[in-house]
Amino acid sequence: MNKQRGPSDVKVKLNAERLESIINECFRQNIVIKDVVRTDSNSVTFLTPLSSMGDLESIVSQYGGDIEVLKPSLMESYRDLIRRRVGFFTGILVFVTILIVLSQMVWKIEIRGADPDIEQTIVAGLEDIGLQIGTFQFLLPSPAGIQKEILDKTDGVTWIGVERKGTAYYLNVAEQSLPEEKETPSPRHIISKKTAVVQSIYAEKGQVVVQENDLVKKGDLLISGFIGKGENAKAVPASGKVLGETWYKTTVELPIKQKVNTLTGPTTKMYAIQLFGLRLPVWGFSAKEEYDDYVVTERVFNPAIKEWELPAAWVVTTYSEKNTTEQSSSVQEAKKHAQKAARYKMKKRLPKEAHIKDEKILQSRTQDGKVKLVIHYQVIEDITSEAPIIQGD
Amino acid sequence: MFDRLKYKAKHWVTGKMNLPEDVLLDVPRLTMIGQLHLHVENHRGILHFSNEQVRLKLTQGEILINGENFVIKNILPDEILLEGTIVEIRYVNDHDMGGSHE
């Protein structure tokens, strides 16, 4: 038997002369009454569901008596509580709703095992389907559907596995490893790119027509694409490597006296808050006046959520004391510097495989506090270039 | 006369067929758990209810329950669960109770 008070049970006090008759009438009409206790000679208290209060009242009035509610039902009292704390309960409700809504969104898309370009096409394809960060999951097709669609849209992949874990989508990509397409180049000659002295020849295909230490000019034939003699002659794509010695002349100019900036050590810092581009210093106002000459370094700490930067930032400006001295070096040293600079300049100009064999200073002049050098370089580099054979058939 | 015959027939059937009497006869079935609970089935209404005494109407006669701190835990058209300290249960037949019928 249920001893507990139900959520809709109201505690009622009934005052009447003929209590027993009322109780009898109640259960005859199937009104549930529980926990009937006699309080005094003509009153009882009992529990009854809220829904049968109307019937009960009509019976009571019929028999002559009055009824009073001692305790409202739990349901009613909770309803009152909720009504009193509307803000709190709406807050809970809003929170739960937001939580549920946010948990239905896609927060992460991770593509694993794809090249950047394939990844790009996959991302574009996903956007077509509608899968991007911030969309609702229930608007999307199932992972299997996405998988099928994205697989149709993307070339160069054998398989894409789409997996959903909570709010994240993981795409495992298995790329197609096609056998590399071998170019079948058309027949060609190897010719010289520039004027040089041939150093070494290595012909993979074709007929070598020059010898080591030959001087070749730009456009000269190095390896011929025609092989065989007489009837067996045919044209092939010649290939090979011909290293040649080439020459370069560089001019550099460098002042003898050089300005050198050195930091002396002490620093002061200024802190500021930056709001919407407006900078408000909060500490170290006089940091700027501390030194005559200084180097300024600025670090901005800007909190950002994804790509969205907050308009507020913390700026730390560091002023470091600087000392500028003029360093005058000897002419000899200046020349050394200039030579180094020239070499650096050359290396930047030459292709990677090339190397400098020798260098010679052709001219060195000191004038107006400057050193001027003209240097001649001997460089070994690849001089091959391709020239197609146009066949008249 | 006819009622009496019917009653006798019922009595005979229950006796011969080994059926529980409360199934066929209109008599109450009382289940009591210590002094704490009394479960009465087949009653016909409450005649009196107070903390010390409960009187229930039956098809024939009435039942009188004496005790302390009575609470009617539950009441249904032919079932009642009484809680409290039960001291005495007594059947009161029609002829010795002077007719305070409802």
Residue-wise pLDDT for B5-36, tens only, equals 888 888 888 778 877 777 777 788 899 999 99
Task: State which amino acid sits at residue A55.
Answer: D
User: Above 80 in pLDDT, residue A291?
Assistant: no
Predicted pLDDT of residue B64? 93
State whether the Cα torsion A224-A228-A233-A236 is positive or negative: negative
Predicted pLDDT of residue A1? 44
ipTM: 0.72
Query: Which range is least confidently modeled, A15-19, A164-168, A283-287?
Result: A283-287
The residue of chain A nearest to residue B69, with distances taken between CA atoms, is A37
Residue A389 makes CB contacts below 8 A (sequence gap 6+) with A186, A187, A188, A189, A225, A226, A235
Per the domain annotation, does B8 fall within a domain? no
Element (H, E) at A91: helix A86-103
What is the spatial distance between Cα A198 and Cα A216, in angstroms, rounded to a whole number? Answer: 7
Residue A223: phi, psi to the nearest 5? Answer: -125, 125
Domain that holds residue B42: 28-97
Highest mean pLDDT among A46-50, A97-101, A145-149, B96-100: A97-101
Residue A335, Cβ density class (10 Å: 0-12 exposed, 13-18 middle, ≥19 buried): buried
The residue of chain B nearest to residue A17, with distances taken between CA atoms, is B48
Cα separations (Å) of A60 from A29, A46, A65, A173, B57?
13, 14, 6, 78, 21
pTM above 0.95, yes or no: no
Instruction: Say yes or no for a CB contact (<8 Å) between A36 and B75.
Output: yes
Among the listed residues A166, A180, A173, the one whose alpha carbon sits nearest the alpha carbon of residue A150: A173
Residues A48, A51, A56: CA angle, nearest 5 degrees: 60
Instruction: Say yes or no for a CB contact (<8 Å) between B51 and A38.
Output: yes
What length is written for chain B? Answer: 102
Predicted pLDDT of residue B101? 47
Residue B77 near chain A (CB below 8 Å): yes
Per the domain annotation, does B7 fall within a domain? no
Using left for φ > 0, alpha for ψ between -120 and 50, and beta otherwise, residue A327 falls in beta
Per the domain annotation, does B19 fall within a domain? no
Residue A169 near chain B (CB below 8 Å): no
Per the domain annotation, does B91 fall within a domain? yes
Element (H, E) at A371: strand A370-382
Per the domain annotation, does B10 fall within a domain? no
Task: State which amino acid sits at residue A264.
Answer: T
Instruction: Say yes or no for a CB contact (<8 Å) between B77 and A19.
Output: no
Instruction: Say yes or no for a CB contact (<8 Å) between A23 and B75.
Output: yes
Kindly state the average pLDDT of the residues A81-109: 91
Q: How confident is the model at residue B86 (pLDDT cuts 50, 70, 90)?
A: very high
User: Above 90 in pLDDT, residue A93?
Assistant: yes
Token representation of residue A194: 């520039």
Other beta carbons less than 10 A from residue A23's beta carbon: 24
Per the domain annotation, does B2 fall within a domain? no
Residues of chain B neighbouring A27 (CB-CB closer than 8 A):
75-77
Nearest to A19 among B49, B75, B76 (CB): B49
Residue A18 near chain B (CB below 8 Å): no
User: Above 70 in pLDDT, residue A261?
Assistant: yes
Nearest to B47 among A2, A20, A36 (CB): A20
Residue A367 makes CB contacts below 8 A (sequence gap 6+) with none
Q: Could you read off the pLDDT of A320-334 as tens digits, one per residue?
A: 888 888 777 777 888
Contact A171, A157 (CB under 8 A): no
Looking at every residue in chain A, the average pLDDT score rounds to: 84
Give CA torsion, residues A147, A152, A156, A159, to 10 deg: 30
Per the domain annotation, does B17 fall within a domain? no
Residues of chain A neighbouring B76 (CB-CB closer than 8 A):
27
Predicted pLDDT of residue A309? 76
Cα separations (Å) of A25 from A29, A33, B38, B47?
6, 11, 22, 12
Task: Find how far residue A220's CA is from the centre of its chain.
Answer: 52
Task: List B residues 22-61 in contact with A (Cβ-Cβ < 8 A).
Answer: 45-51
Residues of chain B neighbouring A12 (CB-CB closer than 8 A):
none
Token representation of residue A86: 């509307």
The residue that leads in pLDDT, A328 or A204, is: A204
Residue of B31, B37, B41, B49 best to disrupt the A interface, most CBs of A under 10 A: B49
Buried b (16+ CB within 10 A) or exposed e, B13-41: ebeeeeeeeeeebeebebeeeeeeebbbe
Residue in the structure block whose two tokens are 């398989």: A159
Q: Could you read off the pLDDT of B39-59 as tens digits, one per residue?
A: 999 888 888 888 899 999 888
Task: Find how far residue A49's CA is from the centre of its chain.
Answer: 61
Highest mean pLDDT among A281-295, A335-349, B13-27: A335-349
Predicted pLDDT of residue B102? 44
The DSSP call for residue A179 is P
Per the domain annotation, does B58 fall within a domain? yes
**Which neighbouring-strand residues pair with A364?**
A373
Kindly state the average pLDDT of the residues A186-201: 87
Residue A159 makes CB contacts below 8 A (sequence gap 6+) with A151, A173, A174
Residue A3 near chain B (CB below 8 Å): yes
Residue A30 near chain B (CB below 8 Å): yes
The residue of chain A nearest to residue B81, with distances taken between CA atoms, is A1
Among the listed residues A85, A78, A169, A164, the one whose alpha carbon sits nearest the alpha carbon of residue A123: A169
Other beta carbons less than 10 A from residue A370's beta carbon: 14
Q: Say how many domains are in chain B.
A: 1
What is the spatial distance between Cα A211 and Cα A68, in angstroms, rounded to a whole number? Answer: 124
- The CATH number linked to B33 is 2.60.40.2000
The DSSP call for residue B36 is T
Task: State which amino acid sits at residue A27.
Answer: F
User: Above 90 in pLDDT, residue A94?
Assistant: yes
Percent of chain A with pLDDT over 70: 96
Size of interface A-B (CB pairs under 8 A): 50
The residue that leads in pLDDT, A338 or A96, is: A96
Residue B63: phi, psi to the nearest 5? Answer: -125, 140
Predicted pLDDT of residue A90? 93
Task: Find the largest Cα–Cα distance for chain B.
Answer: 44
Q: Could you read off the pLDDT of A125-173 as tens digits, one per residue?
A: 888 888 888 888 888 888 888 888 888 888 878 888 888 888 888 888 8
The residue of chain B nearest to residue A5, with distances taken between CA atoms, is B73
What is the spatial distance between Cα A91 and Cα A85, in angstroms, rounded to a whole number? Answer: 10
What is the spatial distance between Cα A340 and Cα A373, in angstroms, rounded to a whole number? Answer: 11
Task: Find the largest Cα–Cα distance for chain A.
Answer: 140
